[in-house]
Chains A and B, each alone.
Chain A
Amino acid sequence: MKVALFITCLADQLFPEVGESVVRILQRHGCTVTFPEAQLCCGQPAFNSGYREEARRVASLTLDAFEDAEYVVSPSGSCSGMIAHYYPELFAEDPVQLERARRLARKTYEFSAFLVNVLGVTDVAARFPARVTYHASCHGSRLLGVKNEPLALLGAVRELELVPLPRCEDCCGFGGTFSVKLSELSSAMVDEKIEHVLETGADYLVGTDMGCLMNIDGRLRRRGLPVRTLHLAQLLDGAVVRGDKPK
C-alpha cells in the first residue's frame, strides 16, 4: 500500500521524531511511505483566525502536494480534521478547487484511524512497561470521530497499564492562537488538564496531536512536573524496538 505522509508543520520543525516513528510503523506494516516535498501547512492557523484568503493560499499547496497520493496519513487529528472538515468550506466558492479538496478529504486519515480502520491493525506487538494515560484531542475525536482507535492500539501493548484520564475529552486549552491571545485562560485550562493527569498517577501522557502535547508538555516542564508526554506513534514505535518483532 502506498501512503503519502502529511507530516504537519509542527512535527516537521519541532518534533521530527514523531514523523520518524510514523514512517517506521507504517513501513513495518507493509506500506511504502512517500514524502511529497511540496507540503508545508494545512492552513489552519490562518483559517481559525478568520484569514480565509491567506488560508486558501497555504491550503492550495496541500492540494497540489497530495494530488496523486492514494492515501494521505498524518500524525495529527487537528490537521487532518482541517482537511476533512474545513477544506470544503474554505474552497466552497471555487468548483475546481472544491472538487480537489473533497477528493483529498476522502483519502486523508489520522494516523491511528489509518492503522486500525484501513490496515486493520490494533496489535503492533509492542511492549511498554509503564503507567500510561491518554488525552483525546478535540479535533481528532470530534471532527473526525476518532475515539476508540488510539485506545484499541494502547490496549494491545504488552505490560502497559492504561489508566483512564478523568474528563479525557476536555480541551487542554491550546486552541492555536488562543493559547497566546488569551494565555491566562489557556493556562487555567491546561492546569485543569494537568490536575486530572496527576490524579491518574501516570508516568506518561499519550496523545495523537502535537499541538495539544506541546501545550501540556510546556506547562508540565514549566511547573517542574515529572510526567512525560509522548505521541502515540512514538510509544508504539519505541516500544517495538524494546519489545517483540511484529508478526
Chain B
Amino acid sequence: MIIPSEQLGLRARAARALSDPFLRRAVRFTVERLRSGKDRATGELGRWEEWREQGSRVRSHVVEHLDFYLAEFVANVERRGGHVHFAADAAEATRIVTEIATRAEAKLVVKSKSMVSEELHINHHLEQAGVECLETDLGEWIVQLARETPSHLIIPAIHKSRHQVRDLFEADGAHDLSTETAVLAGYARRRLRERFMVADIGMTGCNFAIADSGSVVLFTNEGNGRMVTTLPKTHVVMMGMERILPSLADLELMANLLPRSATGQKITTYLNLLSGTRRAGEADGARELHIVILDNGRSAQLGDPDFQEVLNCIRCGACLNVCPVYRQMGGHSYASVYSGPIGAVLSPLLSKSPQASELANASTLCGACFEACPVKIPLHDMLVRQRARNVASDAATRANGAPPSLERWAFRAYAWLFSSPRLFRLLSGVGRAAQRALVGDGSRASFLVRRVPALFGWVRYRALPLPAKRSFRERFAELERANKPD
C-alpha cells in the first residue's frame, strides 16, 4: 500500500521526491528557466535594488495600516454595487461561497487561479454541495485532472512533464495528441471554451485590491481570467485580507515587480482591472459581484515584529525558484498549500499543526529567498525564528515531567562544553584522538557510526574530515614566535 505523502514526515516525503527522476528533472528545468528569466528581466529594468526597496516600503505601509485601507476598499466596492464578505477562517469562507452558489442555483463554477481557494479546498466543498468546479488556468486544470494539488505558487503543474500532460488529456477524452505545447494548449482551449459559455459563476483570486477605487486587479497570462470574469452572471473573488494597495498609482510598481520576479516577463499578458458590477450600457461583466476577504490566521501576524512582514508577500514565487531545497524536492514535499521558503514560513503561521512547523527545517538558511524577494521579506530570518518557536513549544509541551528531547540534551551539552575553554581544550583533544583511532574518515567502525544519528547522517554520503593532531590554539604560540624578529 502506498502511504499518502501527507502522513509521512518531511524527511520521508523528501526521500520519496528524490527517488522520482521525472519530477526532479521537470522541476529543475522550469525553475532554472524562471530564475534566469527573472535575472534578465530585472537586469533590463535596472536599479532593481531600489525597486525592491520601494516595493517593501509600499507593502509594509499597507500592512501597518491595513484596517484603514480595508475599510476604504470595502466602502468603494459597495459604492460600485459589489458585496463584501469577511471570513475569519476557511470554514466560514467555505460557508459563504457555498451559500452564494446555492442562491445562484449554480451547477458550474469556472475558476481562474486562486491560492486562497486552495486554502479552503473549495472545489471539494462545492462538489459536496452538488456544484461542479472547473479550473481554467492550464496548469491548474492539469493538476485537477490528475487529482492533485498545485506544487508551485504560479506554475501549479511544474512537476509534470509534457508526456504526463498528454496522458492526462487522453484520459480526459482526447485522441492522438502529440506532446507539442501548441497541440496540448489547443486541446485545453477547445475543451475549456465550451464550459465558459455555460458557467453560472466565475471565481477568481485577487492579485491586488485597490483601496481608493474598490477595484480588483488580476494578472493572468492565458486570458482565462477575462472569460471567467466577463461571461458568467456572478463573479466571486477570493481575496487574502492583505492583498491591498492604497491607490492605482501604486500598481505600476507592482506591475513591474510581480511579473518580472515571477516569470521574467516585463509585464503580464493580461492585466484586468475590475471595478464593480456591469453598468448600464456595458456589453459584458458580472451582474453580481461578491468579494470574500479571508483572514485565516493572517491578522494574528499583525503587530508581531518577528513575522508581520510575511504579509508583504505578493505571491510571485521567486523564492521557490531560487530555493535549493525546493528545486530538489518540489512543492508536494511540503504537504501544504504554500510551498518553498514562503510556504515554510507561512504554513506554520496559518496552521498550528506539528507538520507545518516542521517545515522550518526544510532550509539550509542560505538566504537565496530573501535575496530574490521583490519586497524584501527576510524569510531566512523568519525560518530561524520559527525554529526557536518550535523549540520553545516543544519544551512547553514536555513541561509536565516528561524528559527533554535528545536534541535538547545535545544542545545543553554543547552549551556546557562550548562555554568553558579549559574543559573544551581537554575534551576536544580526546575527541579528535578518538576519531583518528576509531572512525577515521568514516569508512571504519560502521557499527559505532550507525549508532550516532548525527554522525551517520554525515557519513552515509560524505567522508569525514580528518581532525588535526594539534588544534590551532595549541599551535598559535609557535606562529607568534616564528614571526618575532631574532
Contacts and interface: CB of A to CB of B under 8 A. Distances in A.
A217 interface: yes
Given A16-B471, A187-B462, A178 B364 contact: yes
Given A7-B473, A47-B384, A175 B366 contact: yes
A91 interface: no
B365 A182 contact: no
A51 B411 contact: yes
Contacts of A40: 418-419, 421, 424
Contact of B387 (A27, A43, A49, A183): A49
Interface stretch (B93-101, B115-123, B451-459): B451-459
A57 interface: yes
Contacts of A96: none
A173 to B, nearest CB: 6
A177 B471 CA distance: 23
Interface string B449-484: 000011111101111111110111101100110010
A179 B366 CA distance: 13
Contacts of B466: 14
A48 B384 contact: yes
B475 A20 contact: yes
A99 B10 CA distance: 39
Contact of B388 (A37, A52, A222): A52
A16 B468 contact: yes
A189 B324 contact: yes
Nearest to A20: B479
A215 B411 contact: no
Given A40-B419, A58-B414, A219 B476 contact: no
Contacts of B392: 50
Given A19-B472, A142-B368, A184 B418 contact: no
A12 B471 contact: yes
B351 interface: no
Contacts, number: 199
B476 A35 contact: yes
Contacts of A89: 381
Contact of B11 (A17, A50, A54, A184): A184
B419 A49 contact: no
A13 B428 contact: yes
Interface string B390-421: 11100000000000000110011011001101
A171 B368 contact: yes
Interface in A14-56: 14-17, 19-20, 23-24, 27, 33, 35, 37-41, 43, 45-55
Interface residues of B, number: 67
A97 interface: no
B368 A183 contact: no
A183 B455 CA distance: 11
A89 B383 CA distance: 14
B412 A54 contact: yes
A181 B462 contact: no
Interface in B343-381: 360-368, 370-371, 380-381
A-side interface size class? 35 or more
B195 interface: no
A15 B465 CA distance: 9
A48 B479 contact: no
Given A138-B364, A182-B11, A219 B461 contact: yes
Contacts of B180: none
Contacts of A189: 324-325, 328, 364
B362 to A, nearest CB: 7
Contact of B461 (A13, A47, A183, A192): A183
B389 interface: yes
B18 interface: yes
Contact of A188 (B18, B360, B368): B18
A226 interface: no
Nearest to A23: B479
Interface of B: 10-11, 14-15, 18, 324-325, 328-329, 360-368, 370-371, 380-381, 384, 386-392, 407-408, 411-412, 414-415, 418-419, 421, 424, 428, 432, 441, 453-458, 460-468, 470-473, 475-476, 479-480, 483
23 contacts: A7-B472, A7-B473, A14-B467, A19-B475, A20-B472, A39-B421, A40-B419, A40-B421, A45-B411, A47-B384, A50-B390, A51-B408, A54-B411, A86-B384, A138-B364, A138-B366, A143-B367, A171-B366, A173-B324, A192-B324, A214-B465, A218-B461, A222-B463
Given A20-B475, A49-B411, A180-B454, 16 more contacts: A13-B468, A46-B415, A48-B365, A51-B415, A53-B415, A138-B366, A142-B366, A142-B370, A142-B371, A142-B380, A143-B367, A184-B11, A186-B461, A189-B324, A214-B465, A217-B463
4 nearest A-B pairs in the assembled complex, by CB-CB distance: A175-B364, A180-B457, A218-B462, A50-B387
